[in-house]
Amino acid sequence: MNGLGNEIVVVDLRGSKRELTADQVRAIVAGPQSRFDQLMALHDPRSPGTDALVRIYNADGSEAGACGNGMRCVAWLEAEATKRTSLLFETAAGVLTAEVESMGRITVDMGSPKFRWEDIPTRDAFADTRYIELQIGPIDDPVLHSPAVVNIGNPHAVFWVDDVDAFDLGRFGPMLENHPIFPERANISLAQVTSRTTIKLRTWERGAGLTKACGSAACAAAVCASRTGRAERKVTVTLPGGPLEIEWTAKDRILMTGPVEVEHAGEIVV
């Protein structure tokens, strides 16, 4: 499947005790019809009332705490199978709810953002994570600097720029993802606020690289833009793959709404 071009493989392991290893995940991504940015593995529910335990893997085999585009894919599949439109899934980031209206409009509650430096986490203690001391380039003329940081299930750093297409994110992304200031690595985004309700975004995803869309990064950009006074709490975030609607509610929840597409289904042998 894909969410705005973010390639997602969903593997249903419910009814078995099997768990995927990092090597098996990397073997799947190497397949001719199973290349992906993230893999969503569904396991038997662990918490009462939930539809599945979802473990999320990046293309490099590492495990992630959140994947907004992937959760929309999982929600659509479960809604199709059960004919229910309200669903609950347990993830490493907590229990997430999903509402399915149509294939083009699925809303996932991505939880509450975490702003404390130790929750993101960062190596250094920052009293204010609306901007941190991090830059690329000369001290007196940095290319990128002072990102906002937040945890949306995964660590995110958001750099504010005038033009997201003016930077070689494929070059800077790996360096920033693995910067020592991020002990668990980080998703790196370039955000261009085009109005109080619109943001343009490009993201280098931790463990996946450049992708056409990253749902949790869209949430991170929206929340950080609001927190720094750049935008309202409800915005449209446009990624290379298309737009997502993001709302940071008064109850401190992040609602992400967008589409999914089914590409093909079959069996994977690993």
Instruction: Write down the catalytic residue from 73, 214, 219, 224.
Output: 214
Q: Which of 126, 124, 106, 103 is nearest to 116 (CA)?
A: 126
Within 119-214, residue ranges assigned H as helices are 169-177
Kindly state the helix (H) or strand (E) to which residue 198 belongs, with its residue range.
strand 198-205
> Distances in Å between the alpha carbon of 147 and those of 15, 50, 143, 150?
44, 36, 12, 10
Would you call the peptide bond into 121 cis, given omega within 30 degrees of 0 as the criterion?
yes
Structure tokens at 205: 């995803």
From the candidates 67, 73, 219, 224, give the one annotated as an active-site residue. 67
Catalytic (active site) residue 214: yes
- Please confirm, yes or no, whether 67 is among the known catalytic residues: yes
Inter-residue contact 121 to 180 (CB < 8 Å): no
Cα(223)–Cα(232) distance, rounded to whole angstroms? Answer: 9
Distance CA 174, CA 13 (A): 32
Q: Rounded CA gap, 68 and 71, in Å?
A: 5
Query: Which are the catalytic amino acids?
Result: 67, 214
